């Protein structure tokens, strides 16, 4: 009996130790970059233009990151939700369904640098677009779409069968049931999924190196709405270094005198943004859950 109790204590201790280790590593990363950013970070760093001779800012780069994020979500969210609905509600059992599911899993596990090279061949060279925000967004779509579809599918499957049958028993059609009962109940899960993938898109570097490119207009004119003009911040056809790519570039080939500080501070911004996405996803998911179930 005492041995059992001892084993119980040991197991609890070991599991606690691992949990603390995980939290500790995360904490160390965050603290490291936050400390490194002290002294460099300012509001003008967030919104200012990059400079080779001074600390400058990351305004255009931050813009690019958000721009590509929004563009990617615009493409993946509707398609991913549609795919998820198909997989959860309409796909029967069979070879086709198995093949789709296998493809989804395989694409999600392709290393993102390979997706980047694929994007280079297709969205940069074959299209003659050169490096563009759109090319980057499409490359991100390649592995984000299956993920989005899978998340939607899981959220739909988590809706209790009771609610579904309740609707069908009232003579509602399958689509009415999906549209008015299943989908609303799955929304919190889907939104949480969207925000979590947004964090991943925001931090992605490898897939964007060869698609969105390493350069960016050094200053944006936000009054330029000419979508065909590669210098316009609104155009999907401008080269668009994102924050992660920018950090990689600074570390590998940065030459200015403040490269270290800029890279560290940019990393701090990136880490905080991704953290915000993750915490935001949880908060939003919970809030929506409450809203949906008590509306």
Q: Does 287 bind another protein (CB under 8 A)?
A: no
Query: Interacting stretch for another protein, rule CB under 8 A, among 48-56, 155-163, 230-238, 249-257?
Result: 155-163
Q: Which residue of 165, 215, 226, 257 would you call a contact of another protein, by CB under 8 A?
A: 165
Q: For every residue of 124-151, which 3-state class applies, written as one string?
A: HHHCCCCCCHHHHHHHHHHHHHHHHHHH
For the bound state, the minimum distance from the C-beta of residue 85 to another protein, rounded and expressed in Å, comes to: 17
Q: Does 141 bind another protein (CB under 8 A)?
A: no
State the Cα torsion 260-264-267-269 to the nearest 10°: -120
Q: Does 269 bind another protein (CB under 8 A)?
A: no
Q: CA 258, CA 260: separation in Å to the nearest integer?
A: 6
Query: Interacting stretch for another protein, rule CB under 8 A, among 25-33, 38-46, 158-166, 201-209?
Result: 158-166
Q: Does 96 bind another protein (CB under 8 A)?
A: no
Which of 100, 107, 111 is closest to 141 using CA atoms? 107
Classify residue 53 as exposed, middle or buried by CB count within 10 Å of its CB (0-12, 13-18, 19+).
exposed
| Footprint of another protein on 182-201 (CB under 8 A) | 185
Q: Which residue of 42, 103, 125, 293 would you call a contact of another protein, by CB under 8 A?
A: 293
Query: Interacting stretch for another protein, rule CB under 8 A, among 140-148, 164-172, 187-195, 215-223?
Result: 164-172
Q: Does 6 bind another protein (CB under 8 A)?
A: no
* DSSP 3-state of 89: helix
Q: Does 94 bind another protein (CB under 8 A)?
A: no
Q: CA 19, CA 253: separation in Å to the nearest integer?
A: 37
Q: CA 144, CA 201: separation in Å to the nearest integer?
A: 8
Q: Does 95 bind another protein (CB under 8 A)?
A: no
**Residues 186-197, buried b or exposed e (16+ Cβ, 10 A)?**
bbbbbbbbbbbb
Q: Does 91 bind another protein (CB under 8 A)?
A: no
Residue ranges binding another protein (CB under 8 A): 160, 162-163, 165-173, 176, 180-181, 185, 292-295
């Amino acid at each position: 009996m005492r041995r059992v109790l001892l084993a119980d204590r040991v197991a609890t201790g070991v599991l606690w130790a691992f949990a603390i280790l995980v939290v500790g590593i995360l904490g160390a990363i965050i603290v490291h970059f936050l400390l490194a950013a002290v002294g460099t970070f300012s509001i003008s760093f967030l919104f200012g233009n990059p400079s080779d001779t001074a600390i400058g800012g990351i305004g255009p780069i931050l813009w690019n990151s958000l721009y590509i994020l929004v563009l990617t979500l615009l493409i993946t969210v509707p398609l991913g939700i549609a795919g998820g609905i198909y997989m959860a509600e309409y796909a029967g059992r069979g070879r086709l369904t198995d093949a789709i599911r296998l493809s989804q899993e395989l694409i999600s596990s392709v290393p993102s640098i390979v997706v980047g090279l694929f994007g280079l061949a297709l969205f940069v060279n074959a299209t003659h677009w050169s490096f563009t925000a759109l090319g980057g967004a499409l490359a991100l779509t390649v592995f984000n779409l299956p993920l989005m579809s899978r998340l939607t599918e899981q959220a739909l499957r988590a809706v209790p069968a009771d609610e579904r049958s309740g609707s069908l028993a009232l003579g509602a059609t399958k689509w009415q049931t999906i549209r008015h009962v299943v989908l609303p109940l799955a929304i919190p899960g889907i939104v949480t999924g969207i925000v979590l993938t947004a964090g991943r898109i925001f931090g992605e570097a490898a897939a964007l190196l060869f698609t969105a490119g390493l350069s960016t207009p050094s200053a944006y004119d936000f009054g330029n709405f000419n979508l065909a003009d590669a210098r316009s911040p609104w155009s999907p056809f401008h080269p668009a270094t994102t924050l992660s790519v920018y950090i990689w570039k600074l570390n590998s080939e940065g030459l200015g005198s403040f490269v270290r500080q800029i890279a560290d501070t940019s990393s701090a911004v990136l880490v905080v943004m991704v953290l915000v996405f993750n915490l935001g996803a949880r908060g939003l998911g919970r809030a929506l859950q409450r809203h949906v179930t008590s509306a």
